[in-house]
Structure 1
Amino acid sequence: MPTLRHATIDDATLIGEHRHAMFIANEFATEEQLAAMDANFLPWVHERLADGRYVGLLLEEDGKVMASGGIFFMDFPPHYLHTEPGRPYLLNFYTAEEARGKGYAKRILQASIDLCRERGYKVITLHASPFGKPIYEKANFAQTNEMMLKL
């Protein structure tokens, strides 16, 4: 049975590796783009792991991290859907190829939802990959009207 644990600062590099692998698996970017992202991501996640704004959840099996996910507790203004400031944003969900189909992502997702609920949040947001969308939909996440402009 895999063990779920919270990431430490020492896991920052692993979180970056999983993030990189997630984008590769989804064919979202080139290696050149991902290398630039990686260089900026490591100090970002390290700082946020240290101050608690990022909570990493790691699922280990036989001493190896097989799946991971993160919660970024970002600054966000009070909103009519949640009057408290701040909003949790789920990101970096990744399952190693050999571990897919075992419910690991679902387990990390439920742990993320539970943690956000325990902290009193009323809304959780994320951007779903094609792989993740069915898992999030089964957990009652709904598509919103968010738009993006790339500058």
Structure 2
Amino acid sequence: MPTTRSATVDDAAQITHHRRRMFVDAGRPDNAVLDRMADAHTPWVARMIEEGKYIGWLTEEEGHVVASAGLLLLDWPPHPLDPVSTQRGYLLNVYVEPAFRRRKLASNLIELALAEARRRKIRVVSLHSTAEGRALYAANGFRPTNEMFFVEPVEG
């Protein structure tokens, strides 16, 4: 029976491992760019947990972490979607090990993140999704937006 607990600074490497697997499973090559990302992500997520800006959850079964997710708290200007709040949530690092998928573990983690946002009176939570993940997020109340990106190329 899986159990879910809050993430601690000691979980930074595990969260990074799941983040890397998330990108690989989405079709990104497991290469030097992901090495660089992982090297930078582990200390970053540890610091964000320590500062209370990243609230994470890990689901374990038989002593092994099989799923995880995080909610990043962002300073954000008041917006028509929430005209008084100065924070927004960003759902990230949602990952379930392949052998444990289709068991509602991701939905449980998403609900924990949304409950935390509600507790903090954060009305807007955003995320980025793969095409495969859209149905999961839609089933959990998310809707598509018109967001766009400008990204400088990364070498490697």
State the Cα distance separating 1:130 from its structure 2 match: 2.5
Matches within 5 A, 1:114-133: 114-133=115-134
In the alignment, structure 2 segments of 5+ residues that lack a partner are: none
State the Cα distance separating 1:39 from its structure 2 match: 1.1
SS of equivalent to 2:129: coil
Moved over 3 A (4+): none
21-30 or 114-123, which moves further after superposition? Answer: 21-30
How big is each residue's C-alpha offset from its partner over 1:85-120, in whole Å with a ceiling of 9 and x where there is no partner?
A: 111100000000110111110110111111111111
In the alignment, structure 1 segments of 5+ residues that lack a partner are: none
Q: Distance in 1 between matches of 2:118 and 2:29?
A: 33
1:102 and 2:90 equivalent?
Answer: no
* Matching residue of 1:76: 76
Residue identity over aligned pairs, in percent, reads 36
* Matching residue of 1:9: 9
State the Cα distance separating 1:29 from its structure 2 match: 4.1
SS of equivalent to 2:72: strand
Q: Distance in 2 between matches of 1:150 and 1:115?
A: 30
Give TM-score, length-normalised by structure 1: 0.95
Letter in 1 for 2:13: T
Q: Distance in 2 between matches of 1:108 and 1:140?
A: 14
| Root mean square deviation of aligned Cα | 1.1
Q: Distance in 2 between matches of 1:30 and 1:125?
A: 26
Change (3 A) 1:66 1:30: closer
Count of residues in Structure 1 that have an aligned counterpart in Structure 2: 151
